[in-house]
Structure 1
Amino acid sequence: MDDISTGLLFSLLILLLVISGYFSGSETGMMALNRYKLRHLANQGHRGAKRVEKLLSRPDRLIGLILIGNNLVNILASAIATILGMRLYGDMGVAIATGALTLVVLVFAEVTPKTLAALYPERVSYASSVVLQLLMKLLYPLVWFVNGITNGFLILLGLRVDNANNGKLSSEELRTVVNEAGGLIPRRHQDMLLSILDLENVTVEDLMVPRSEIAAINVNDDWKSIVRQLSHSAHGRIVLFRDNIDEVVGMLRVREAYRLMMDKNDFSKENLLRAADEVYFIPEGTPLNIQLLKFQRNKERIGLIVDEYGDIQGLITLEDILEEIVGEFTTSISPTLAEEITPQPDGSLMIEGSANIRDLNKSLNWGLPTDGPRTLNGLILEHLEDIPDSQISIEVSGYQMEIIEVSGNMIKQVRVLPNQLKKTG
């Protein structure tokens, strides 16, 4: 080194600092890349993305290569800085060179290139991948040797590189990705995607038409009563049963009944039962995502939900599940949530007791518990453990409510006070 001029040593030191900055920036840029965007570009044939994806397929080797190069360059730069310090300042030059080089490396070879790489990871990674790919081929034996030692230590710690996270996202992580998409995905599409992810957390009981509200006809009724119920039916299908709804005998398409009505000779109880379809039963507790696939597989559109004893609990249709994903259809016969909530002049809300708790939480951004009763009426009854009189004010799960109307052992109307609305809004 004594034969090398001071000017040349300064030039070598600057070159080494530039190379050190390259390695530092490359490492940050590679690690900061959006892997899913990278995979998309690689599938589209982007050359830079293909190179980077190949390097990232073994991150242990990539990091090993970058750190080998970075450490070799920094050690050599430290040696040159020490020589320059001693030439210029004698024995004190070692300390001066150490302090000065630390500051220069920190600013120009670490913080600055890493900040730029974090801001522009694609540009940095695609460009640096050309050199890194070449260095990987040239230094592969050394990289393989260093990684072998490193992986050996990891095995002693009970870890293996090939068992590392493969980059797959959980449903919660996917939900976060959708929420963070912002303007890249329209809000309505985001809501639909989130609803699909939520299907596995919702069961058929959460959406079913309760047993007491199922449109059904007792075939043991007199014929005139049956004809009158068919003529005034607002539903496309009607459940047929004998005396008790648990004794279901079929599911009748109303349009098929109308067809029989056109021919009075064929219009009889026997032909009505013969025209009814076989009932499709659904076990309670079935998640919506599973039931949606079962509807598709079995070519069904409607089913009766039964408990472990075989008793009818409710009814659910394919349209109910689709509405959970895309929102309510205008053709829905059952009351919508908007029809069950009436804003009052004082800012409070008048809500039907039959309103679904999940729908209230979703629409009003509330936090009512959903692990128990499914309706507001059921939630209040569970809280009171009794059937109340009207005009009673209570607090349920932090929400101030006033029971307005009670009829037929059910709470018909509840008013939620405005102070609570402001608190949760």
Structure 2
Amino acid sequence: MTWIVIGIVSIFFLLAVSAFFSSSELAIVSINRAVIREKARKGDRKAKILDELLENPDNVISAIVVGNNLVNVTASILAGVISTQLFGNIGLGIATAVMTLLLLIFGEITPKSIGIRNEKFALRVAKPIYIVTKVLTPLSIGLTSLSKFIARNVFGKKQLNPPVTEDEIMAMMRLGEEEGTIKKDERELVNEVFEFDETKVDEVRIPKREIVYLDENDTIQDLINKSIKTGFSRFPVCKNHNINKIVGMVHIKDTLPVEDKNTPVKKIMRNILKIGPGMKADDVLREMQHKKVHIAVVRDKKGNVKGVVTMEDLIEEIFGEIADEHDKNIK
């Protein structure tokens, strides 16, 4: 009888370990990485360990899953042996039913409800999970390699991880929002990023009739006055007051070294990026970043100006309206 008591105690211990693995898994998966990284930057030792774990989340989750399965299988075997000893042939059925119920309640549902978006818990388990990962990663890598080998050579499946589609990602984001692991604004941000990928410059440009511009013969003082009036810092520069002849752009900061405010703006004029209306917004944003410019003129195939687009316009397509004290309708 002594070994039966020890076996039952061992089962409950293994259930506790299973609960630890399950709660830790969800706590780590649902944690806000930015918050943890900030705490790590400020010197929090536990946050540093957790941030290191999050550098390779696949390894961490694989190790946890392997550990959890080992624990659950061991507990189930013990339960089967004890039940068979106590109840004979029907013992295995009893053990299966009881262990299934116990593992669901105490090994999955309850611990995961505790671990979800639980920053304090995630920090608390960071060190033990770090140790578990170091110990079990070789085993999890070995099992993963074996499964890939079997899939490739036995079932002829070359790719275990097929590409994830945009629809699948959005479905996962919606599910995460419903379960509370992802915030609504996070899901909306991902959606905006996908939509931005399909957005054309023509959809976000400032129309030609609304462009605030300067003529190349306008003075530095004219530029300063217009900047004060509109709150803008950059302006396209036209030739002969013809909006279809944008020849460059000026930035208000370039007026600082100029002593004579009657100097024409063409003396401090910079080149302006020229783009077509059919270009994708994300391509334009990357080109702006590469060339370190914040404004571009949109021209059609005939060379006529259709409008201008700014880096702020493009960023707002992803993050929404960026309000400041100068925001107003462009006239």
User: Could you state the TM-score of these two structures normalised by the residue count of structure 1?
Assistant: 0.47
Structure 1 residues 153 and 30: CA distance shift in structure 2, 3 A: farther
For residue 180 of structure 1, what is the amino acid of its counterpart?
D
8 Å contact kept, 1:214–1:314 = no
Identical amino acids, percent of aligned pairs: 22
CA shift, 1:80, in A, is 2.3
CA shift, 1:331, in A, is 10
After superposition, give the CA deviation of every residue in 1:242-274 in whole Å (9 maximum; x if it has no partner).
9x88789999xxxxxx959xxxxxxxxxxx9x9
Give the whole-Å Cα distance in 2 for the aligned partners of 1:127 and 1:22: 11
CA shift, 1:117, in A, is 1.0
CA shift, 1:213, in A, is 10
Q: Secondary structure at the match of 1:50?
A: helix
Give the whole-Å Cα distance in 1 for the aligned partners of 2:74 and 2:327: 76
8 Å contact kept, 1:214–1:315 = no
User: 1:109 is matched with which residue: 107, 110, 127?
Assistant: 107
Give the whole-Å Cα distance in 2 for the aligned partners of 1:331 and 1:58: 42
Within-5 A mapping of 1:12-411: 12-120=10-118, 122-152=119-149, 157-159=157-159, 180=185, 201=199, 203=201, 206-210=205-209, 241=240, 282-285=274-277, 289=285, 306-310=299-303, 312-313=304-305, 326=322, 335=331
Give the whole-Å Cα distance in 1 for the aligned partners of 2:248 and 2:24: 69
Richer in strand (by share) = 1
Give the whole-Å Cα distance in 2 for the aligned partners of 1:250 and 1:96: 82
Q: Secondary structure at the match of 2:105?
A: helix
8 Å contact kept, 1:250–1:276 = no
RMSD across aligned positions (CA): 5.6
Give the whole-Å Cα distance in 1 for the aligned partners of 2:247 and 2:139: 77
Point out where structure 2 has 5 or more consecutive residues left out of the alignment. Answer: 218-224, 228-234, 250-260
Max Rg structure: 1
8 Å contact kept, 1:207–1:320 = no
Give the whole-Å Cα distance in 1 for the aligned partners of 2:211 and 2:13: 82
Richer in helix (by share) = 2
CA shift, 1:158, in A, is 3.9
Point out where structure 1 has 5 or more consecutive residues left out of the alignment. Answer: 182-189, 220-233, 252-257, 261-271, 336-425
CA shift, 1:112, in A, is 0.8
After superposition, give the CA deviation of every residue in 1:126-169 in whole Å (9 maximum; x if it has no partner).
222322322344445434422332454577644478x999xxx9
8 Å contact kept, 2:85–2:91 = yes
Structure 1 residues 208 and 150: CA distance shift in structure 2, 3 A: same
CA shift, 1:21, in A, is 1.4
Aligned residues: 282
After superposition, give the CA deviation of every residue in 1:270-324 in whole Å (9 maximum; x if it has no partner).
xx9x999799684553767479669965xx98x87654444x53675979969x8
For residue 125 of structure 2, what is the amino acid of its counterpart?
S
8 Å contact kept, 2:272–2:297 = yes
8 Å contact kept, 1:22–1:113 = yes
Match of 1:359 in 2: none
Structure 1 residues 49 and 147: CA distance shift in structure 2, 3 A: farther
